[in-house]
């Protein structure tokens, strides 16, 4: 059972025009179809924008990797740096205690 969107009365599905208030149901369903089409358009436009942004991010990632600042390539450098710094700290601590005694 359908309901008239204008007056809310129950309608048989064969009616194109509401017999109670005269509201045109065929035009109403066309409006809904148009709304759905518009929403689909907006969604596809948003998808396009998202794809463009993804492409930009990919380009930036490739650029940063080619410069040697990529996250995957920079972590061994940091580990080596902290190892050397740690050795120097331990060395100076040992020297300090040896010289004090």
Residues that bind Zn ion (CB under 5 A): 4, 6-7, 18, 20-21, 23
Contacts of 72 (CB under 8 A, 6+ apart): 65
For Zn ion, the closer CB: 9 or 51: 9
Q: Find out whether 16 and 24 touch, Cβ atoms under 8 Å.
A: yes
CB 77 within 8 A of CB 68: no
Nearer to Zn ion, 6 or 28 (CB): 6
Q: Is the dihedral of CA 93, 95, 99, 101 positive or negative?
A: positive
The residue among 12 and 99 lying less far from Zn ion, judged by its C-beta, is 12
Question: In angstroms, what is the minimal distance from the CB of 9 to Zn ion?
Answer: 5
In angstroms, give the least distance from the CB of 51 to Zn ion.
44
Give the residue among 9, 4, 53 at the shortest CA–CA distance from 24.
4
We find the least distance from the C-beta atom of residue 26 to Zn ion, in angstroms, to be 13
Shortest separation between residue 16's beta carbon and Zn ion, angstroms: 12
- Kindly tell me which of 16 and 51 has the beta carbon lying closer to Zn ion: 16
């Amino acid at each position: 059972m359908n309901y008239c969107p204008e007056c809310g009365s129950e309608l048989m599905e064969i009616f194109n025009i509401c017999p109670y208030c005269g509201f045109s149901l065929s035009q109403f369903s066309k409006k809904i179809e148009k709304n759905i089409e518009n929403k689909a358009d907006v969604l596809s436009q948003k998808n396009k924008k998202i794809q463009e942004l993804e492409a930009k991010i990919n380009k930036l990632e490739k650029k940063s990797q080619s410069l040697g600042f990529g996250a995957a390539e920079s972590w061994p450098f940091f580990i080596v740096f902290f190892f050397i710094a740690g050795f120097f700290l331990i060395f100076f601590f040992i020297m300090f205690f040896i010289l004090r005694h």
